[in-house]
Amino acid sequence: MTMFHLSTELTSVSVDSKNTKFSAYNGIIYSKGYKNAIACIGGISSVETNPECISIGHYCFYQCRKLKSIKMNEGITSCGTYSFRGINISSIGIPSTMQNIGVYCFRSSTVKNIIIMGGGPKTIQSYAFEYCTIEQINFGINLRYIDWGIFRNSKINSVTFNEDCPLSKISGETFLYVQYLKTIRIPKNIEQINGQAFAYVRSLSTIEFAEGSKISVIDTMAFRQTNISSILLPQSLTFLGANAFSECRNLRSISFARGMNLKNLGGGAFRSCISLPTVTIPASVSLFDPSAFVFCSNLMSINVPSENMNYTSIDGIVYTKKNDKLICCPGGRVNAMIFKHIIVIGSNAFYGCSKLENLTFEEGCRLEVIEDGTFFSCTSLRRVDLPTSLITVQQSAFSGCTLLAIITFTDYARADLGADSIFADCVSLTTISFWRFCALKNLGSSIFSNCIKLKTINIPANCTKIGDSAFSGCKSLSDIRFESNSNLKYLSSSAFVGCTSLLTYNVPDSFKEITSACFGGAQSITTVNIASMINIDRIGPNAFSSIPMTRINIGLGTTISLIDEYAFQNTRISSLEILSSVIISRYSFKGCSLLRTISVPLASSIGNNAFEGCTMLESFSIENTVTISSFVFKGCTNLRSVKIPKLISEQSSITIFSASPSSSMRMRKRILSTGSTSTFPIGLFDGCKNLSSLSIRNNIESISDYCFRDCISLIYDIPRTVTMIGNESFKNCIKVNNIPSDVQYFGNMSFYGTNIKKVILINRYTTYIGSSSFENTPLRIIFYCGNRDFSNFDKSFEDDSQVVVTYAYEQSTFCGSHAYRIQSNTCNDIMATNYDRIDILKKELKSHMKKNLLFLCAIDPLGLW
């Protein structure tokens, strides 16, 4: 109870004699009868407990910093939690009757000496002396149990246990981080030292086990990073936990008592004991893991007694009793020979042999298996020439060999490398050679990850699989060569992630389809090479979307059947040549803004928007008949010439109005090419502002919507076979000036902004003239000899245009303009002479001057007179 500990001026306290709960004595509040000390006042400097007291309660003397002396009476049996925490005395006696010291009892106090009377306490609860300035303590014969961390982070420098005390276990973290303890003697009845009991006690230089020690278990990290120089492990020991003596950098001698029954030795028990020169393992060991002595960089020999039934040692290297498996090489060795009788090099056998420089395989070597982690972190090994006999290399076998520069597999090598991370983090690796007729089938996940100096790799023809992240982080890798007649079937999409120097990539000739996965996640590839004389079924959708490709080279004789949608979209290629028959799907080259030339002379089909936005494309030609869809060259602003022998439109249509634009009766009519005539697809050259030359030899019947919109440089004599012209087909084509005589359908804005003649004759069979069809053109006089009603059509001509009709046309307006009637035979004359007898028209109009005065005034400036 902490009710008075901050009352530093309170020097006395009393309790009314009539109080039935509490009593007071010498500045301490007790329970009635003085059995339990409850709280000490904060203003006194010394105190003596009541002779009747048997227990010190929780927090009783908590933070009573003015106290310089505390005398506990005989008869006290226990001290509660935090009962003396933070007190400021230098010495305190523990009465002989004490049986239990509670949790955190003396935590953070300044007590230096604790004097235990008689046999002392039986139990000490967890963290009792944590962060205490205690320097020494002598435990009595009664001690049976100590809980976790009782001296953790304290200043203890001397601890003695009674040789005959019944204490059987030193609990975990008992002395963790203690910095002044130099020696410890383990009493004979101790059977177990728990995890981290003495860990990081860097001052501890001597550990002594009492004669007749019963110690059986030394658990995980029990003596890690202590300063011991030698250790004699008793005969009773049966278990050494992981890292039990790891990183004891001053340890020079380890002795295992004869007759010991220790079965397992491993788990990094003596890991990184860098001063250890030699060791002899017990004869009883039946399972030896090389990790027991990993990173012992000065260990030159590991000896095995001849009585051991499982292992033997030759020249300080441990083998199985049959000599067919190498188990462990000591970490201080510079040279190692793999004898011809060795079939297997065991897991972690050379793990952490940081001084190993030379690895030699005896002539006639029969080695078949290198197990996982075998040469992990052999940081001085520079070259490995693996024998032909080798079949299996397991996970991380050479990982972390930071100086390993050269690895070779000989002719007819049988090894497979399908395991993960075999050569990962070999940061000096520059060369890995697979000689002739290599049987390699697989390259496992992360096999060469972070081999930052590897520049070139030759993938043998027999390799069928390259796993995830196989070459990830190989930032110097610039040349990957797949042998011809490759059998590669699977390449992970992350195989080459982080290979930032890989600019040129040769696609394996085994691939029938090229997809984005073909590049293994490499993000810097600018040039792609496809081998000669192979057949590619398909270049898949977005095949090159993950790389900044600027060039693709297709070998002679190679065929590509299909370029799928978006295959080359937004790539930075400037040219492409495909000499085989090929289908080009929609959007295949959309946005290839640097594409200048493309040669696909045998293309059989081109999908819609295939070259949309190829702003640098200058010309396009095909040698055979081709099926073309809509908007193929939309936005190809630099396209100047197009040559197509014969065009078949796949998707061509014109918006057809059955009556007038104001009518709800309208439909979109698909125009299909026939054997003798063709149709320009929708928007075929939309926005090709530099297109000036167009050569398409077959008869054109229809020109679909938007076909030549904004082709401001186009000089094109519209074929006489054309009968239908769609919406905005020639909009803003300022150099187009003719209209075929047989056109029967003019879409909305079809000739808007063109340079057609001032006078035209509308075919009498014309069924539709769309809104604004001839606005913003020089056209001012329109002749129409038919009788179809155009009075309800939207305005098609400029405001000052004049429409001349015959008496067969009964309406007064024609497509938004006023209609003027003349004799029908005049119209016939003009049709017959193709306007050669325009003078006849002038005379005819003059004779009707009075009736047509406004009309004559309007046409006078147009040069008819």
Torsion over CA of 350, 351, 353 and 357, rounded to 10 degrees? 60
> Which alpha helices (DSSP H) does 221-336 contain, by range?
none
Helix/strand/coil for 599: strand
Band (668; pLDDT cuts 50, 70, 90):
very low
The answer to whether the CB of 509 falls within 8 A of the CB of 531 is yes
What pTM was computed for the model?
0.78
Mean pLDDT value of segment 622-642 = 94
The percent of the chain in helix, strand and coil, each rounded to the nearest 5, is 5, 25, 70
Any idea which residue has 């808007």 for tokens?
Answer: 752
Mean pLDDT value of segment 668-681 = 59
Q: What is the Cα–Cα distance from 551 to 575, expressed in whole angstroms?
A: 7
Residue pLDDT, tens place only, 274-302: 999 999 999 999 999 999 999 999 999 99
The answer to whether the CB of 4 falls within 8 A of the CB of 42 is yes
Residue 548: pLDDT above 80? yes
Helix/strand/coil for 113: strand
Q: Parallel, antiparallel, or unpaired: how do β-strands 666-670 and 653-657 relate?
A: antiparallel
Residue pLDDT, tens place only, 55-101: 999 999 999 999 999 999 999 999 999 999 999 999 999 999 999 99
- Structural domains in the chain, CATH included, are 334-499 (3.80.10), 780-865 (no CATH)
689: which residues sit within 8 A by CB, 6+ positions away?
A: 637, 710, 711, 712, 713
Residue pLDDT, tens place only, 10-42: 889 999 988 999 999 999 999 999 999 999 998
- What is the token pair recorded at 833? 């002479």
Q: What is the pLDDT of residue 7?
A: 78
Q: What is the pLDDT of residue 836?
A: 40
Q: What is the pLDDT of residue 695?
A: 87
Residue pLDDT, tens place only, 314-367: 999 999 999 999 999 999 999 999 999 999 999 999 999 999 999 999 999 999
Band (662; pLDDT cuts 50, 70, 90):
very low
Mean pLDDT value of segment 755-763 = 93
The answer to whether the CB of 528 falls within 8 A of the CB of 568 is no
Phi–psi pair at 325, nearest 5 degrees: -140, 125
Band (658; pLDDT cuts 50, 70, 90):
very low
Residue 368: pLDDT above 50? yes
Mean pLDDT value of segment 811-838 = 69
Helix/strand/coil for 840: helix
Residue pLDDT, tens place only, 396-407: 999 999 999 999
Angstrom distances, CA of residue 36 to CA of 51, 57, 78, 524, 539: 11, 6, 10, 79, 89
Neighbours of 833 (CB within 10 A): 11
Residue pLDDT, tens place only, 553-581: 999 999 999 999 999 999 999 999 999 99
Q: What is the pLDDT of residue 623?
A: 87
Mean pLDDT value of segment 808-817 = 94
Shortest CA distance to 253 belongs to which of 221, 197, 299, 288?
299
Mean pLDDT value of segment 514-519 = 92
Angstrom distances, CA of residue 584 to CA of 519, 547, 598, 606: 22, 21, 12, 5
825: which residues sit within 8 A by CB, 6+ positions away?
A: none
Band (655; pLDDT cuts 50, 70, 90):
low
Angstrom distances, CA of residue 39 to CA of 2, 65, 67, 98, 808: 7, 14, 13, 19, 127
More confident residue, 7 or 740: 740
Which of 253-267, 812-826, 849-863 shows the highest mean pLDDT? 253-267
Band (436; pLDDT cuts 50, 70, 90):
confident
Residue 711: pLDDT above 50? yes
Residue 846: pLDDT above 60? no
Band (654; pLDDT cuts 50, 70, 90):
low
Q: What is the pLDDT of residue 677?
A: 60
Phi–psi pair at 60, nearest 5 degrees: -55, -50
Q: What is the Cα–Cα distance from 360 to 339, expressed in whole angstroms?
A: 9
Residue pLDDT, tens place only, 332-345: 999 999 999 999 99
Q: What is the pLDDT of residue 2?
A: 58
Burial 690-728 (b: 16+ CB within 10 A, else e): ebbebebebebbbbbbbbbbbbbebebebeeebbbbbbb
Shortest CA distance to 708 belongs to which of 633, 625, 820?
633
Q: What is the pLDDT of residue 645?
A: 86
Q: What is the Cα–Cα distance from 702 to 648, expressed in whole angstroms?
A: 12
Shortest CA distance to 95 belongs to which of 112, 78, 113?
78
| Cα distance from N-terminal residue to C-terminal residue, the chain | 125
Neighbours of 601 (CB within 10 A): 15
Angstrom distances, CA of residue 288 to CA of 328, 342, 516, 555: 9, 18, 48, 58
Q: What is the Cα–Cα distance from 647 to 632, expressed in whole angstroms?
A: 13
Residue 245: pLDDT above 90? yes
Helix/strand/coil for 768: strand
Residue 854: pLDDT above 80? no
More confident residue, 570 or 864: 570
The alpha-carbon radius of gyration of the chain (Å, integer) is 49
Q: What is the Cα–Cα distance from 280 to 768, expressed in whole angstroms?
A: 106
- What is the token pair recorded at 110? 């300044």
Residues of the chain above pLDDT 70, percent: 91
Q: What is the Cα–Cα distance from 505 to 387, expressed in whole angstroms?
A: 31
Q: What is the Cα–Cα distance from 330 to 348, expressed in whole angstroms?
A: 11
Query: What number of residues does the chain have?
Result: 865
Give the per-residue SS3 of 39-88: EECCCCCEEECCCCCCEECCCCCCCCCCCCEEECCCCCCEECCCCCCCCC
> Helix crossing, 824-833 with 838-847: angle to 10°?
160
Residue 145: pLDDT above 80? yes
Residues paired with residue 136 on neighbouring β-strands, in sequence order? 113, 158
Neighbours of 596 (CB within 10 A): 15
- Average pLDDT over the chain, rounded to whole? 91
826: which residues sit within 8 A by CB, 6+ positions away?
A: 840, 841, 844
Shortest CA distance to 697 belongs to which of 653, 735, 648?
648
